[in-house]
A and B are shown apart, each in its own frame.
Chain A
């Protein structure tokens, strides 16, 4: 986390990579959350 970046390229490579990983995990998480949210919809 406290890595030193000497070039903008290095900084962007790091932050964009982390962002893409978070996006992937978030999409999976949001799928799970959607099922949790709507699990009892059929009962209505």
Chain B
């Protein structure tokens, strides 16, 4: 636990470290290829498919799964659920790292990193949704950095600066919720410009609403999923509150996720009804749509509810992992699988192995940064100097 210094020789050559080292080495080599030889050498992107998995997975999935930060902060500071306070720091850290590496991954797609700030300092494209997404992500990343800053400031012993950062908590939470509402929905709105390219079962005028509501589900599920993994990997870093209250968090967030999933299922059905696309449900794409609707929305909704009723924590945690997978599938369906669905197979997009390699590299970097921070800073426990302090 905190405050204790664990001595003794530890080997660096653990199976995880070896695999992580190989992934990082592979990622660095592909990075060099991408930035010296261009997109053509490292991707299967084309004029038909200008957005691949670096957008579909790294960005759309990354932003959705990083929603745990604003969901948990809102639950604790705006809705007054103080009993979940212990979960704020891990959730904000996951959100901060998620958004940070969304921006890193975006560089691979855009290239020329030194021009990243151009939309804000050269040309304000105020009529563009991409500009709004970019501005929101830039601002929200700053907000997450400030929300996360008390942890490193406590670690470094900067008490006065930490005091100032903590005083900003409420206003930062409000900013976080507003900015997340804007850009989570705007990521869905990006596809409104392509009604002829996205399959009608996934295309809907309500796409922004679908993206925002599903981001709440992603955030709740990710907090439970990440909590489960943290319990296994960093059990010794957790204080009593973390260890004793995590079951209550699982039950509370499981109930919330079940309810939001029920609402999400309803509005997805309304999306089909509004377009009168019932006849498409019997096509191959329709079957896949039903797999998503029943297998990854209705089923987890029911499993969460059963888990909450029976207080079956294992079932709720399994369902959280299943729901996270469902969010990944939903974002990939919209950006890759059901996108350009009418093109012949020869023109369809399948990611190059280097694209997959960079996505794995980015996920590994998030895990490594998370581990580095959690093993050093007061994330899973309260710093002894500030114990019991109201935030």
Contacts and interface: CB of A to CB of B under 8 A. Distances in A.
B262 A33 contact: yes
> Which residue, B259, B262, B276, has most C-beta atoms of chain A within 10 A?
B276
Contact of B273 (A19, A37, A38): A19
Q: How large is the interface on A (under 10, 10 to 19, 20 to 34, 35 or more residues)?
A: 10 to 19
Contacts of B387: none
A34 B259 contact: yes
Could you tell me the dominant secondary structure of chain A's interface residues?
A: helix
A25 to B, nearest CB: 9
Interface string A26-44: 1001100110111110000
Contacts of B274: 15, 19
A41 B266 CA distance: 24
B171 interface: no
Given A1-B278, A26-B266, A30-B266, A36 B305 contact: yes
B247 to A, nearest CB: 11
Contacts of B259: 33-34, 37
Nearest to A40: B309
B308 to A, nearest CB: 6
Contacts, number: 43
Contacts of B128: none
A1 B309 CA distance: 38
Given A22-B269, A26-B269, A15 B262 contact: no
B195 interface: no
B196 to A, nearest CB: 18
Given A11-B276, A30-B262, A34-B259, A19 B309 contact: no
Given A15-B273, A15-B274, A19-B270, A33 B305 contact: yes
A28 to B, nearest CB: 11
A7 interface: no
Nearest to A26: B266
Nearest to B262: A33
Interface in B16-36: none
B252 to A, nearest CB: 11
A36 B307 CA distance: 12
A15 B275 contact: yes
A39 B258 CA distance: 14
A23 B270 CA distance: 8
> Which residue, B255, B273, B279, B305, has most C-beta atoms of chain A within 10 A?
B273
Contacts of B278: 1
Interface string A1-31: 1100000000100110011001100100110
Contacts of B273: 15, 18-19, 22
A40 B308 CA distance: 9
Nearest to B267: A26
Interface of B: 255, 258-259, 262-263, 266, 269-270, 273-276, 278-279, 305, 308-309
5 contacts: A1-B279, A15-B275, A15-B276, A22-B270, A36-B305
